Structures are given as C-alpha cells and as structure tokens.
Amino acid sequence: MNYIASIGSYAIMVKEVFKKPTKWSVMKSLILKEIDELVYGSMGIIIFISIFIGGVVAIQTALNLTNPLIPKNLIGFATRQSVILEFAPTFTSIIMAGKVGSYITSSIGTMRVTEQIDALEVMGVNSLNYLVFPKIIAMLLYPFVVAIAMYVGIFGGWAAGVFGGHTSSADFIQGLQLDFIPFHVSYSFIKSLVFAIVIATVPSYHGYYMKGGALEVGKASTTSFVWTSVVIIILNFILTSLLLG
C-alpha cells in the first residue's frame, strides 16, 4: 500500500508543479541556472563514458567475429545499433539518474531540512513550481545530450576498431550505413525525452517530501537514484515494446 500511496503523492506533486506559476522574470533565470547545472554540467561525463562504451562495443564485436565469412562491416553495424538503440539513451540516463538525480534530491532535501521551502510557502510562492518546473524545462534539452552521446559513441567505436586493427575505416563506415532505419533515432529521442521527465521529477519527489535531518538527505538521495533507475528500466521495456514491437 505504501507504494500505491507514493505513486499517488507523486502524481499529485506533478499536477501541483503546473499550478500558480512563478512570474516569468524570475522563472527565466531559474531555468537558465538549471540548464547550466543539469545539462551543460553533465556533458563532460557523458562524452567520456560514451566514447569508451562505443569503443568497447566495437572491440567485443570484432573479437567475436571468428568466422572469416562474416564481413568486417558488421562491426560498424553492431556499434551503430547498440549505441543508438540502447547505450546512448538508456545507459546515459542511468548515469544522469546518479549525477543529476542525486543533486536534485540533495538540493531540494536540504531546503526542506533548513525550512526554506516553508519560507517560500509563507511568502505565497508555489514552491513546487518554483523548484521543480525549471528542472523539467531544463531537462527537455536532454535529447540533445543523447544526440551527442550517439555521435561520440559511434566515433569511439570507429577509433577503437580502426586504430586497434580490427577493421578498416571503409568497412566500419559501410557498416554504419548498412540497413539504416531513421526511426531508430526518433525512437531513442522519444525514450530520452520520457527519461528526462523521470530524472527531473522522481528525485524532486524524494527531496521535497523527505523528513528528518542532514543524515536523511543522504538516504533520500540514495533512494531516489534507486527508484529513478527502476522507473527508467521499466519504461525502457514498455517503450521498446510499444515503439519497436
């Protein structure tokens, strides 16, 4: 029953986020601040991870091509499919759930502990709109991060395959072009947009409704990461079944 109550509280929170909006002059600066911290601030770790993930996929594919009859362009094909369909949107989102989600939960949780949220409510400000709405808007730019992760991941696969002596550049590029389906990119962007909403709202829920002191802020951050990851994995299965099934 606690899980059902939590889902209900989460739904009510999301609805309240869009009520009684903060005036635009204030909201604009909040949105720009969140874009800098949540999106731009995550680019480094995303690029670093994506380039090595692409490289690992290319190397593992090459090492499993023991049959000489199998064309080498399969390395590029496998790297493209793996990076675009799963690694860029899903694996990146798990990383973002840890980095961005923990930051959101701890920042809002600290405001709850120090009674800053109560002060906003006393001043007549819709605290959920003030705190959560800018994060949702900022995370709508997340598909651009995923697009960069796709490009860098495929580049990492090309670099690992070519400079590692596993394939030629021409074969790898031929594999990239082999049976390309443009909808797969759209599918990844749709997934990343849904995951972005989850990353912005689930950690906010755990931070906003937490109780206790500084120790509980850390526990809430851990809990939010676990549940954000669980929701992302479940939604990944559902969206894949609906869009590609």
Span 136-171, pLDDT tens digits: 999 999 999 999 999 999 999 999 988 888 888 898
Span 46-61, pLDDT tens digits: 999 999 999 999 999 8
- Over the Cα atoms of the chain, what is R_g? 21
Distance between CA atoms of 89 and 25, rounded to whole angstroms? Answer: 33
CB 54 within 8 A of CB 152: yes
Span 183-225, pLDDT tens digits: 999 999 999 999 999 999 999 998 888 887 777 888 888 889 9
> Is the pLDDT reported for residue 134 higher than 60?
yes
Average confidence (pLDDT) over 78-85 = 90
pLDDT band (50, 70, 90) for residue 115: confident
Query: Could you tell me the pTM of the whole model?
Result: 0.89
DSSP for the chain, please give it: -HHHHHHHHHHHHHHHHTSSPPPHHHHHHHHHHHIIIIIGGGHHHHHHHHHHHHHHHHHHHHHT---TTS-THHHHHHHHHHIIIIIIIIIHHHHHHHHHHHHHHHHHHHHHHTTHHHHHHHTT--HHHHHTHHHHHHHTTHHHHHHHHHHHHHHHHHHHHHHTTSS-HHHHHHHHHTT--THHHHHHHHHHHHHHHHHHHHHHHHHHT--SSHHHHHHHHHHHHHHHHHHHHHHHHHHHHHHH-
> Is the pLDDT reported for residue 1 higher than 70?
no
